[in-house]
Amino acid sequence: MIGKGAPNLQGSEKTHGAPLGADEIAATRANIGWASEPFVIPANIVDAWRAVAKRGAKARADWQKRLDASPKKARFEAAMSGVMPAAVSRSLAAFRKEHIEKATKVATRKASEMALGAINGATTLTVGGSADLTHSNLTITKGMERVAPGRYKGRYIHYGIREHGMSAAMNGIALHGGFVPYGGTFMVFTDYARGAMRLSALMGKRVIYVMTHDSIGLGEDGPTHQPIEHLAMLRATPNMTVFRPADIIETAEAWEVALNKTDGPTVLVLSRQNLPMLRDRHDKDNRSARGAYVLREPAGARDVTILATGSEVEIAKAASDRLLANHGVKAAVVSMPSWELFEAQDEAYRAKVLGKAPRVAVEAAARMGWDRWTGDNGAFIGMNSFGASAPAGELYKHFGITAEAVADAALKVAGKAGK
């Protein structure tokens, strides 16, 4: 009962958001038999709590002795340190090199599953799961045993259709320490997980959210499942790092950053549809770790810069090709997988990436936030309504998110329309 013990106000909303007042406080004291002065704790209560602390100190000391005698002490302390084993970075570096050479074309949700195979094979510290969408989110990898009643040795949790519950449980795992929790659902269902996701950020805990089916590109499931405003909401959340990778390489790079970020959560925003390899060479450096980078720099001065994330980076490259071939317009292409990490770079790096030419941004999501990067005279190609039910390719044409539309906008902002 709310306000229990306050004789005139208990059970009332009046005890929720306002002080009881001097008269009701006096009546409450009399009602519950509390005679001590304000902020004075009676000696018998202090003694009882100190006895609890004494028992706890002994239990803690006994536990420390067992740990000190254990041959697994070093392994335990390494896990609790929060530092990922070096084998993970080595595995991901080899993974990136392999797939650059193969020019692997897969959906980024599949790329995530493949990267997780490399990660989960290199460490036992990850604990995965999904809110009843395992085989859509692709969050389980070969050899992962499921956690079940009476069987707690596993590393994979079936949370059921409980997005908030999954996120809250992952917060608990992260608070305990020793494991790195990750869990998946559809991007649109961040609405259900929102409260717990916000707490991940507020508490500064390493929780990794695998959010697939990231745009109208999911197709026929339609507007109830197509996220529009969700990227803007996540990007607006303090201390939350959001990645929307464009291909398998950026996906692996995003995982590496997420695993090594110990002071807050990361959201991986992943596509349902296949995306081509966009890099043309292997880089030892993690380019996505800087948030944005120049994927294509034209010869000579830029006429325009096209900014994009995720599945729309492919469209940006096609627009750049079109501009040069049809109009002689030189367009740089910038991939921006993480706004937060790009914002954290120094001014010189940001200026080098963005350039001085007019800018066009393309993203199959709401415009909110993009004006900061395009500037007052820039343009945006994306969503300004809810989606619809149709194959992905048809939806992109219907909503005008095409290479042709991007090229037309680029010509306009560059002052070359009609030329």
Task: Using alpha carbons, select from 135, 118, 179 the residue that is nearest to residue 154.
Answer: 179
Taking phi first (over 0 means left), then psi (-120 to 50 degrees means alpha), and beta for anything else, what does residue 152 get?
A: alpha
* 3-state SS, residue 240: coil
Alpha-carbon span 241 to 252, nearest angstrom: 15
Question: What residue ranges in 50-189 does DSSP mark as E strands?
Answer: 106-107, 126-130, 156-158, 180-186
> Is residue 347 annotated as a catalytic residue, yes or no?
no
Task: Using alpha carbons, select from 120, 156, 369 the residue that is nearest to residue 244.
Answer: 369
Amino acid at 281: R
Q: Please give the structure tokens belonging to residue 344.
A: 């954290």
For the chain, helix, strand, coil in percent to 5 are 45, 15, 40
**Do strands 359-366 and 241-243 pair parallel, antiparallel, or not at all (unpaired)?**
unpaired
How many residues does this entry show for the chain?
419
Catalytic residue (one of 24, 113, 163, 314): 163
Alpha-carbon span 293 to 295, nearest angstrom: 6
CB 285 within 8 A of CB 253: no
Q: Give residue for tokens 């909503």.
A: 399
- Ramachandran angles phi, psi of 134, nearest 5°: -50, -45
Question: What residue ranges in 30-174 does DSSP mark as E strands?
Answer: 106-107, 126-130, 156-158
* 3-state SS, residue 268: strand
The set of catalytic residues is 163
